[in-house]
Structure 1
Amino acid sequence: MTTAKDIMHPGAQWLPAHETLDRAAQMMRDLNVGALPIADENERLCGILTDRDIVVGCVAMGHDPSQVKAGDMAKGTPRWIDADADVTEVLQMMKDHQIRRLPVIENKRLVGMISEADLARHLSDRQVAEFAERVYAP
């Protein structure tokens, strides 16, 4: 059985909700990622911040990224998957909620992230096509 832990990108890091968006952008640059999970003061997932969120939701709106907190950008119900979940559960969650990145949690700690690139590397062409159809369909 292939699990979330088998296909995830290990070593993901939290971005504390109190950090500013300019700090988030620096972390993304340093980690070479396009998204960071946002954590509250108890290290509980409260959202995911993308580079697009920073550009469209802050910069393009005329706001100063050094003044906007990551937690202010967290919207909706955060989704995550247990490290031991079967890959079919991963796909189902990502398809059902039309999400492209999924934090992987083990013992209440962030251990990795699953992105579209991870799916493409580890799944069959048919599985990837089904995922893309569901996530990108209008």
Structure 2
Amino acid sequence: MTKAKDIMHEGAQWITREETLTRAAQVMQLLDVGALPVSDDNGRLCGIITDRDIVVKCLAKGHDPDKVTAADLCEGTPRWIDANADVDDVLHEMEIHRIRRLPVIENKRLVGMISEADVARHLPDAQVAAFAGQIYSPAH
């Protein structure tokens, strides 16, 4: 049985909710990623911000990324998956919520991220095709 930890990208890092979007962008550049999980004051996942969020929700609206924090962009309940979850549960979570990146948690700590690229790299073509159909389907 393939588990979340088998297909995740290890070494994911998060930023705290107080970090500015400028700092978030710098971390994204350093790690060569397009999304960062955001932690609250207790070190728990409270959201995810993407490079697109920074552009669309901050820069395009004329806001200063040196003053806007990660917390300002975090919306809704963050989704995550346990490291030992079956890959079918991973796909279901991503499909049902139409998300393209999923933090992987083990013992209440961030241990990795699963992205569309990880799904494509590690799973059979038929499973990837079904996943893509769910994520990108306009009728979903």
SS at match of 1:19: coil
TM alignment of 1:21-32, pairs within 5 A: 21-32=21-32
CA distance in 2, matches of 1:137, 1:53: 22
Between the aligned partners of 1:30 and 1:125, the Cα distance in structure 2 is: 31
Aligned mates of 2:71, 2:127 — CA distance in 1: 34
SS in 1 for 2:105: strand
TM-score, normalization: structure 1? 0.99
Please name the residue that 1:117 is paired with.
Answer: 117
Query: What is the identity percentage for the equivalent residue pairs of Structure 1 and Structure 2?
Result: 70
The equivalent of 1:108 in structure 2 is 108
TM-score (norm 2): 0.97
Tell me what 2:57 maps to: 57
Structure 1 residue 36: Cα displacement: 0.2
The letter for the 2-side match of 1:6 is D
CA displacement, residues 5-25 of structure 1 (integer Å, 9 cap, x when unaligned): 000000000110000000000
CA distance in 2, matches of 1:136, 1:66: 34
Displacement after TM superposition at 1:86 (Å): 0.5
Which residue in the other structure is 1:36 paired with? Answer: 36
Q: Which residue of 2 aligns with 1:80?
A: 80
Q: CA deviation at 1:137?
A: 1.2
Partner SS for 1:94: helix
1:90 alignment counterpart: 90
Q: How many residues align?
A: 138
Q: Deviations over 1:64-93 (max 9, x none)?
A: 000000011000110000000000000011
Q: 1:136 Cα deviation (Å)? A: 1.1
**C-alpha displacement at 1:3, in angstroms?**
0.4
Is residue 46 of structure 1 aligned with residue 46 of structure 2? yes
Counterpart Cα distance in 2 of 1:114 and 1:120: 10
- RMSD across aligned C-alpha pairs, in angstroms? 0.5
Q: Which runs of 5+ in 1 are unaligned?
A: none
Distance 1:136 1:63 in 2: 30
Matched to 1:87, the amino acid is V
Segments of 5+ residues of structure 2 without an aligned counterpart are none
CA distance in 2, matches of 1:8, 1:15: 19
Letter in 1 for 2:32: N
